[in-house]
Amino acid sequence: MADLPHISRSGSTAADDGTPWWRGMTRYHWFVLTVAALGWLFDCLDQQLFNLARKPAMESLLATAPAHPDTPPSAEERKALQQRVDFYAGLSTCIFLAGWATGGLFFGVIGDRIGRARTMMITILIYSLCTGLSALSRGFWDFAFYRFITGLGVGGEFAVGVALVAEVMPERARPHALGLLQAFSAVGNFGAAAIGIALGLWQIQTREGLIYGWEPWRWKFVIGALPAVLALVIRSGLQEPERWQAMKEKARQTGDVLGGYGALFAHPRWRRNAIFGMVLACAGVIGLWGIGFFSIDLQMSVLRKTFTAQGIEGPALKGRLTVWAGVASMMIQVGAFTGMMFAARICQRIGRRPFFAIFLVLSLLSTVLVFQCLDDITDFFWMLPLMGFCQLSLFAGYAIYFPELFPTRLRSTGTSFCYNVGRFVAASGPFLLGQLSSGVFADSAEPLRPAGTLMCLMFLVGVAVLPFLPETAGQPLPEE
């Protein structure tokens, strides 16, 4: 760390003289950003592989022998099976999100107490290994258990990653580096989509739809285990930020508490930021995980109707659905990457709160557009990038904003609280969407459309709390 510049009490390392934000960054700065970005990239790869594999996994794990093997199932039997698959797909997502939230809250405190780099290594190992174990599932409950443990690691990685980057980067580079970090999530999601397309094309060529005896969804989880090797890189080359080391030494001398929710809520300023930051995160997290990612199911319904009308059935139909699920995911991520790359510039230019106000409203409008109007394959190529641009830009904003709300001794804890408590609420999103689809709107021709549209009102909750949060643009990271 000899080449790290000295960080003053204000956190500034250079004046903003109009030069590109990356000027003045050392090789170690780039190493930290690369490692943190790869950790988040693989984290998101795992998430998206789960989204793509969720429904095929439920169809496989819940499959039972038909009562009358020689008689095709009736329309009522097919509908009952589909409702069961939908219910357990939503439940598995709820369990994954609950694990994510629990891991985020736990490892957020651990990140403040034992260090960012060590905690990141632990979380990457957890989510990688348990993703691989998901491929060995034999029923719903062991699958759900693996997903919960995977969620523990996934939830813990984000907060320590953004805290690490925020504390190491030069002041002027910080928001741009954090925006770039978040943009790598789109690369991970895009990679998951490419994996899905490749497996789908392979599946089409097989007679029974199996690849070396396994369904494609199992291979997705096998691939998701590979990021474990990144933990070895972290252990060999990543050091704790100087800010954190200085804070730890000061805490040792003064007896201050490192991390912990008691310390977070004891101070009125940090308590206020944590509560309203959590509500702000809820809007985006529920919008993405409770609504946006379930547009995949709507897309599959559109594709199934299209291909069935063309007379495509059996493994060929499943293979094409797998391929097009990947294409649809890619379209979302093209928009997401573009939006997140611009998010840092927009945040710097107009401020954090105006940014969130604009993009929460745009997220509502674009998501309603998808759920109401997506009805043809051609719609995938403009509606989905638009929704991805609006929804995922919010998460670049979170990566930039949340570390700016808390001091070093509480930064990982506070960021985790904002980002992950919302996931406990978001865990109810898929369940609520399923209840609306199968209950309130069950008589609708396509129940998912009105259910998803109604839930988009959640984005307005984020707008409502913005007046209670501070504007942090152009200010150094807070200290006590």
Nearest to 477 by CA among 11, 133, 6: 11
Residue 64's contacts (CB-CB under 8 Å, 6 or more residues apart) are: none
The helix (H) or strand (E) run that includes residue 76 is: helix 75-114
CB half-sphere exposure, 63, CA atoms < 13 A = 7
Cα–Cα distance, 59 to 84 (Å, whole number): 9
In this model, does residue 414 exceed pLDDT 80? yes
The helix (H) or strand (E) run that includes residue 388 is: helix 380-401
Determine what percent of the chain falls in helix, strand and coil, rounding each to the nearest 5. 80, 0, 20
**Residue pointed to by tokens 């960080």:** 7
In the chain, the amino acid numbered 169 is: M
Cα–Cα distance, 436 to 249 (Å, whole number): 53
Cα–Cα distance, 166 to 179 (Å, whole number): 11
Please answer whether residues 179 and 340 qualify as being in contact, where contact means their C-beta atoms are separated by less than 8 angstroms. Answer: yes
In this model, does residue 66 exceed pLDDT 60? no
CB half-sphere exposure, 300, CA atoms < 13 A = 23
Q: Report residue 52 as tokens.
A: 């793509």
The pLDDT of 278-303, averaged and rounded, is 84
pLDDT in tens, 86-111: 788 888 888 888 898 899 889 989 98
Cα–Cα distance, 420 to 423 (Å, whole number): 5
Question: Per mean pLDDT, which range of 102-106, 125-129, 292-296 is the poorest?
Answer: 292-296
Nearest to 461 by CA among 294, 291, 282, 285: 282
Q: pTM to 2 decimals? A: 0.80
Q: Report residue 322 as tokens.
A: 């797998």
Please answer whether residues 49 and 128 qualify as being in contact, where contact means their C-beta atoms are separated by less than 8 angstroms. Answer: no
Instruction: Report residue 477's pLDDT band, with 50, 70 and 90 as the boundaries.
Output: confident
Determine the pLDDT at residue 363: 96
Domains and CATH numbers, the chain: 27-62+78-468 (1.20.1250.20)
Determine the pLDDT at residue 73: 64
SS3 66: coil
Which residues does residue 214 pair with via DSSP β-bridges, in sequence order?
211
The top-scoring range by mean pLDDT among 37-41, 60-64, 407-411, 461-465 is 461-465
- Burial zone of 63 (CB within 10 Å; 0-12 exposed, 13-18 middle, 19+ buried): exposed
Higher pLDDT, 158 or 429: 158
Dihedrals phi, psi of 214, to nearest 5 degrees: -120, 150
Please answer whether residues 116 and 409 qualify as being in contact, where contact means their C-beta atoms are separated by less than 8 angstroms. Answer: no
pLDDT in tens, 370-380: 999 998 888 99
The top-scoring range by mean pLDDT among 223-232, 428-437, 446-455 is 446-455
The pLDDT of 120-129, averaged and rounded, is 87
Cα–Cα distance, 365 to 457 (Å, whole number): 10
Cα–Cα distance, 319 to 321 (Å, whole number): 5
Determine the pLDDT at residue 70: 57
Determine the pLDDT at residue 356: 98
Instruction: Report residue 13's pLDDT band, with 50, 70 and 90 as the boundaries.
Output: very low
Question: Per mean pLDDT, which range of 11-20, 189-198, 401-410 is the poorest?
Answer: 11-20
DSSP state string for 8-43: -TT---S---SS-TTTT--HHHHHHHHHHHHHHHHH
Please answer whether residues 247 and 9 qualify as being in contact, where contact means their C-beta atoms are separated by less than 8 angstroms. Answer: no
* Mean pLDDT score of the chain: 84
**Residue pointed to by tokens 């979302």:** 332
C-alpha Rg value of the chain to the nearest Å: 22
